[in-house]
Structure 1
Amino acid sequence: MTAPWTPEHEVDAAQAAQLIAGQFPDLAGAPVAPLATGWDNTVYLVGGEWVFRFPRRAVALPLLAHETAVLPRLAGRLPLPIPFPERIGVPSAGFGWPFWGARLVPGTELADTGLPDDQRSRAAADLGGFLRALHDPALTLDLGESGTVAVLPHDPMRRGDPGVRGPLARERLARLAAAGLWQPDPAVFRLLDEAEPLGPADGPPVLVHGDLHQRHLLLGDDGRATGVIDWGDVCLADSAVDLSLAYSGFAGPARAALFDAYGPVSPERAARARVLAVNISAVLADYAHAEGRAALLREALAGVSRAAR
């Protein structure tokens, strides 16, 4: 079976350099180095200052359009740095898809830091304040009045619906267990059993990152958050979609610090967030195992356990 993250087109460093130089002559000759690879994009650091994202799959093209529409409108309005697409590459004979570049948001993916749970409180508090600002209904209203959010779908992956995400989580967990990577945990199944009947949330949606997990929160050497990246799944949804990281990435005092900064969350919203946390963590673990990413595998499996507690 072909893995869902298998690229349809993969731009290598030489092609990236050629494409960038062709459309942005001031960057011609700048060093181009691999920075990251995900399901949807291959990412290069250019000249030590610019980050360029090249789609790997056709499904990423509307996501790129969402990023380039929304991120400039969010610039300077959130308490943590986010990418600002300043250089928009158009389709060409050399590459038939658009791409874009932004100035580097420095930091290390939370998944790669190996930071112990008891040293995550500062990052958690930073993230809580960030999500409070992002989920402010006034921000969503303002972007709606400007027409910006008109391009965004409403929870297209149904990530806020535990009736959808719970069964998907069970499938991934079964794969992990069969591979000997995860020991079935009764607490995880109790969570799924209790939350799956909830269904999607009522009430008006807010602007959400849409795919917030341990790869998309960046940290500095001091343990503070330095930015939030990879906004391809930005959409309108219940805030539980982003709050899943509160449960997969943080536990104990760190999680408490996050919610001290964010504000109160209802038990139903917490349950929806926890189910998504299990689902995303299981997906990340499956991906990490297939791609040989040991640090991400450890973090993702820990995320499954954190989410249930």
Structure 2
Amino acid sequence: MDDEAAVAAVLVATQLKRFREVCEVDGPIEPRFNGATKHVLLADDRAFLFPRNHTIVAQLERECDVYATVDHPLVSKLLGRWDEPAISPYPFFAVTRLQGSPRADRSPEHLRTLAVQLGATLAACHDIGLERVPRRLWANAWSEPPTTPPTAAECYTPLRELGGAERLADAVAPGVGPAARKMLLEALRTVDTMDPVLAHGDLYEDHLLLDASGALTGILDWGFGGVLSPLVDFTCSQWDSASWAVESSYGDLRRHLWTAYAERRSTPLPSWEQVHLALTTFDITALAPETKTHYYWQKSPEWQATRRATAQASLKAQLT
């Protein structure tokens, strides 16, 4: 089936004709149907986003709020919104089309380079002032936004969802001495009280575009973006197992991400050692069978058990 015929899955002939007229699209259209929440029609310089059904409209609205707020060359810009029943029963949107495609290069060199580029880009996005962020984005995608932008104590954080610093320290290191427990608690508390930022919230390889040389050219799908703890973009819980497999050592991917990020942020941040302690604790707790969180939900029980054991060994080494 050619692209023009495939577009009929989103727009039948009469709708397509009206779409071309209203949106001034004369050239070829490339359909993309692999998104979980939306259909995408690609024109030469624009991407048109159509919600799959009525339940997705609010999430797509918040995604486009991000595109209207973030001003960065690796993030699409919102170009337009239409309510046209003759084209679609739901509102649809146009954003700038970013070039590139996801790549399957799993070499350690590529992973390190990608992590550095991604960390630098996240730093620029996270530096956006919260006064510029629409209220719809002041919480995560499944919570009602507060009346004022959240503080560090109020925003969503992965560590707080798992029980907070005291509970995590007791759960992962019940037998350590007073000095080690103090170091772990200090790291957890410091990392968990970072000021909130406009975060992506769902970062993994499929949401990253790269050019032929492997350079990062875009970050897609900000539908779970919101004013959250910066830490949500560093858990890497949705990254593919193959990416973890090429790490030179446990935490290597996140170390390159965080180092590049911290060098470019305009505000003081925890050290990598503190972040490493916190994220190691996160892995141990999030991967515990009894925890039953959404983190790492696509990974096999065998992978989770191996990753958790590696994290436990790493935490022991960090605390001794």
Pair 1:270-2:273 in alignment: no
RMSD: 4.0
Amino acid at match of 1:151: R
Q: How does 1:40-119 map to 2 (within 5 A)?
A: 40-46=37-43, 48-75=44-71, 78=72, 80-109=73-102, 112-119=103-110
Preserved CA contact (<8 Å) 1:53 1:99:
yes
Check the 8 A contact 2:172/2:284 in 1, yes or no: no
1:27 corresponding residue in structure 2: 25
1:231 to 2:222 alignment: yes
Relative distance call for 1:255 and 1:304 in structure 2 (3 A) is farther
Give the structure 1 partner of residue 137 of structure 2: 152
Q: Percent identity?
A: 22
CA distance in 1, matches of 2:281, 2:238: 11
In structure 1, runs of 5+ residues without a counterpart are 1-9, 167-189, 287-300
Kept in 1, the 8 Å contact 2:123–2:261? The answer is yes
Q: Deviations over 1:37-75 (max 9, x none)?
A: 2211111222x3321111113332122222333323322
Following the alignment from structure 2 to structure 1, what is the Cα–Cα distance between the partners of residues 114 and 278? 22
SS of alignment partner, residue 129 of structure 2? helix
Question: In the aligned structure 2, how far is the partner of 1:280 from the partner of 1:19?
Answer: 41
The separation in 2 between residues aligned to 1:276 and 1:213, in whole angstroms, is 21
Matched residue of 2:234: which SS?
Answer: helix
Contact 1:282–1:304 (Cα < 8 Å) also in 2: no
Count of aligned positions:
247
Does 2:114 correspond to 1:129?
A: no
Q: Does the Cα contact within 8 Å between 2:16 and 2:87 map onto a contact in 1?
A: no
Q: Match for residue 194 of structure 1?
A: 172
TM-fit CA distance, 1:259:
2.5
Which of 187, 202, 212 pairs up with 1:211?
A: 202
Which residue in the other structure is 1:7 paired with?
Answer: none
Taking structure 1 as the reference length, what is the TM-score of the superposition?
0.64
1:51 and 1:103 in contact (8 A); partners too: yes
Deviation at 1:283, TM superposition (A): 4.1
TM-score (norm 2): 0.62
Shift of 1:256: 3.4
CA distance in 2, matches of 1:35, 1:304: 35
SS of the counterpart of 2:39? Answer: strand
CA distance in 2, matches of 1:244, 1:103: 28
For residues 204 and 280 of structure 1, do their structure 2 counterparts lie closer, same or farther at Cα, with a shift above 3 Å needed? Answer: same
